[in-house]
Structure 1
């Protein structure tokens, strides 16, 4: 997998841009500095890989804008060896960022085409999540719960109850909520029944799909 000095230089510029946009978490920035985003995209988009934009990938999905990936990752406040559930593996780029931040990532994808592609790509880049799962993200992964954090990388009309149930007390759930445009939402689990909610403005995601398997 090709990764040239030019690519590395473009990543350094991208990291500077993300810092200017308010990303301060050094582990997030270092992960983005190291990961060859161009390898997660169609070759026709390679020249644009380090622009702060989303691009189409297979199965009608997109690779998220780097700022969105960085923003969601920063909200998680990842600590080394945190057990994180990702809903929507997609291209695998967000998963790669979390792995490089030291997390143990369990990632669910319901598009078989993307699941197969990412399952082959990540090992080639020496990125090893704990598990990649082909399944319905709305159901979470109860057999591995509880999780330190849960990240949803598609727009959800509501917060799926199984995801709330699978979050540790003190854990953080980051999810874009809404139909056409989404509000980035952070839930922090305070105890068995109470969650603290924070909202962080509008973002745009492809919809979170369910019950297709």
Structure 2
């Protein structure tokens, strides 16, 4: 795969950033990261010319690379701080992971499909994005590395997984789409050992969050 990131690509990214500002993404660190991550490298070659449109596109294993607006929104809702310990559930293409790593976080990411896990892990290493990547069941999280400052779920969960809630630090934030065919984006803050505050942010559509792993 040719790892080209040309002036043309950079210009297209800046136009995408302006489009996201127009749609309400305000966090300058999120916008800077989206302006730097070469999204075209995460797409199947047949879609590369569309890489900087604000749209989701198919990737391997019947999954999609998230719409840039969605990546921007979820990242903004996380209120990311440099050095945050973040758990991502659903590595997928690796694009959301790259945006978070670009923002200076310590990222732990879990993917259930081996094909995607291998592909995204290799690509992120090739282009210089270092995180910790795991093949596993997102519903279980990564208890041995918990507690996390933030948790981001990039698939539609039919319910909020309790095991993930308990892997958040007190004061931590989880951003998760909840629902079946259509989801509601939820922002959950852990207030105490037992108390959580939930906020509904709007409607969205993600591929479903499934249990187990796939070889």
TM-score (normalised: structure 2): 0.98
Question: In 2, distance between residues paired with 1:115 and 1:210?
Answer: 15
Give the equivalent residue in structure 1 for 2:143: 142
Question: In 1, distance between residues paired with 2:88 and 2:30?
Answer: 16
Question: In 2, distance between residues paired with 1:69 and 1:8?
Answer: 18
Alignment partner of 1:10 is 2:16: no
Alignment of 1:86-101 (within 5 A): 86-101=88-103
Shift of 1:169: 0.3
Give the equivalent residue in structure 2 for 1:156: 157
Give the equivalent residue in structure 1 for 2:195: 194
Give the equivalent residue in structure 2 for 1:203: 204
Give the equivalent residue in structure 1 for 2:166: 165
Unaligned runs of 5+ in 2: none
Question: In 1, distance between residues paired with 2:117 and 2:151?
Answer: 19
> What value does the CA root-mean-square deviation take over the aligned residues?
0.6
Query: Across the two proteins, how many residue pairs are aligned to each other?
Result: 212
Three-state SS of the structure 2 residue aligned to 1:59 is helix
Alignment of 1:115-126 (within 5 A): 115-126=117-128
Shift of 1:212: 3.3
Give the equivalent residue in structure 1 for 2:60: 58
Which 4+ residue blocks in structure 1 deviate beyond 2 angstroms? none
Give the equivalent residue in structure 2 for 1:127: 129
Three-state SS of the structure 2 residue aligned to 1:139 is coil
Give the equivalent residue in structure 1 for 2:109: 107
Alignment of 1:29-68 (within 5 A): 29-68=31-70
TM-score (normalised: structure 1): 0.99
Shift of 1:211: 2.0
Q: Check the 8 A contact 2:16/2:52 in 1, yes or no.
A: yes
Three-state SS of the structure 1 residue aligned to 2:52 is coil
Question: In 2, distance between residues paired with 1:15 and 1:151?
Answer: 21
Residues 91-128 of structure 1, C-alpha deviation per residue, up to 9 Å, x if partnerless?
00000000011110000000000000011100111110
Give the equivalent residue in structure 1 for 2:181: 180
